[in-house]
Amino acid sequence: MGEKTREIATLNLRGTAYELPVLAGTENEIGIDIQKLREKSAAITYDPGYVNTGSCKSAITFIDGDKGILRYRGYPIEELAGKIPFSAAAYLLLFGRLPEEKEFLQWRTDLTRHSFIHETLIQFFEHFPPTAHPMNILGSMVASMSAFYPYDAEDEQHIMLNIKRLVGQVKTIAAFSYKKSIGEPYIYPRSDHSYGANFLRMMFATPAEEYVVPEVMEDALDMLLILHMDHEQNCSTSTVRMVGSSQANIYASVSSGINALWGRLHGGANEAVLNMLEQIRQDGGDYKKYIELAKDKKSSFRLMGFGHRVYKNFDPRANLLRGAVDRLLSELGIHDPLLEIAKNLEETALKDDFFIERKLYPNIDFYSGICYRALGIPTEMFTVLFSIGRMPGWIAHWLEMREDPDTRIQRPRQIYVGSPLRHYHPPEIAPWDLVKQSKLF
């Protein structure tokens, strides 16, 4: 979790030296503890975007961006994605260990049992306009769950029950929102289906005939959800922690994460990749033209899906997903021209000095959109799928924050750059007095 070491960092500020404790993480990450900095010196740090600021100590996810490493609870992502079901990975993230056989069977049963939406809450779908974005619906519905499932914040059993409801129902809400958008009846979960198979069935089955979920689709969805499950203190996870630090309930906290993920620079990136590939396809598939546009400083075109804030090497999630996409398309017999464009873009960019020098490697968004497309998921649902995968991660961080004795309500400081002190000298007749006298209000 990170402990104070005997090592001390010294800050020299305006002739005074301030000693600050140093923290060392499990993987030898180094952090300077500045909790007492303002108290001792009246100074604060300035770090736009908090890219150099550690907001907490966490035992959930480890990332080494330079080496392309991602681990959940100590397990390399390569040993989990494609190897275990999503529900088992969710258990790992939430409880810190992989489940035993009986625990897994009970966990899977509980997730199915609690995946049914409150019948009154289902009526909410009828009041969203047809043009409502699925992420808008998802965030609103999750926030509304707190009205239907109140709980005692001090009762661990109540908290666990609501965790199961959140993980179980998020996929049902997502599938129902899709069914509503196309005017088809809702399909309810089945206890003999896995988490991923239940979602695909609720998305694509109809009451008129039996629907068998192809195993290759179930496996691909499990991998996608696991790869999206957590990624340290990203924008949406930090939002969940910030809202939760006020002791807001779990539904309000997670709903805030959904809204943060909706941003096009966060969860909306895979949708942007697909739109870019479609733009290139409609332009005759001339990917080389767009490679050159991406290198042109005068061009507004941006090559989506390349580069990452954290990874300065290959994104390990992208490496895993690239192979999964090939298998999925091959087994389903799908020939997707967008995939050909994507492969050509990747191959060309990886040989181009412009991209090599800037370490602009493909990230997970580059391939996840193609994979969702092969599964038949509409483009506007991509970020919703991201939310389903990220749900266990958000909850794990909410739990960890809640149990951390160092947790305080988050309240960042600022550097004020506005007007210095000035005074108001009222005129004889102020504009608002004239408006009032005119009886306009």
Per-residue pLDDT of 127-176, as tens digits, reads: 999 889 999 999 999 999 999 998 778 889 999 999 999 999 999 999 99
Which CATH code, of 3.40.120.10, 3.30.479.30, 3.40.720.10, 2.20.28.60, is assigned to 3-64? 2.20.28.60
Q: What is the pLDDT along the chain (441 residues), one digit of tens a residue?
A: 455 567 899 999 999 999 999 998 999 889 999 999 999 999 999 999 998 999 999 999 999 988 999 999 999 999 999 999 999 999 999 999 999 999 999 999 999 999 999 999 999 999 999 889 999 999 999 999 999 998 778 889 999 999 999 999 999 999 999 999 999 999 999 999 999 999 999 999 999 999 999 999 999 999 999 999 999 999 999 999 999 999 999 999 999 999 999 988 888 888 889 889 999 999 999 999 999 999 999 999 988 988 887 887 788 998 899 888 888 988 988 888 888 898 899 889 889 999 988 888 888 888 898 899 899 999 999 999 999 999 999 999 999 999 999 999 999 999 999 999 999 888 888 888 777 777 655
Q: Could you tell me the residue ranges of all domains in the chain?
A: 3-64, 75-267+377-403
Summarised one tens digit per residue, pLDDT across range 196-216 is 999 999 999 999 999 999 999
The DSSP letter of residue 435 is H
Residues recognised as catalytic: 308, 365
Q: Classify domain 75-267+377-403 at the CATH class level.
A: mainly alpha
Structure tokens at 94: 């939430």
For 299, residues 6+ apart whose C-beta sits below 8 A from its C-beta are 293
pLDDT of 70: 96
pLDDT of 4: 55
For 434, residues 6+ apart whose C-beta sits below 8 A from its C-beta are none
Inter-CA distances, 34 with 1, 14, 109, 148, 373, Å: 17, 17, 46, 42, 46
The pTM score is: 0.91
67 vs 439: CA distance, rounded Å: 69
77 neighbors 70 (Cβ within 8 angstroms): yes
pLDDT of 440: 59
pLDDT of 260: 96
pLDDT of 2: 52
- Long-range own/partner contacts, residues 128-133 (CB < 8 A, 24 or more apart): 128/177, 128/180, 130/181, 133/262, 133/380
Which H helix or E strand runs over 382?
helix 382-403
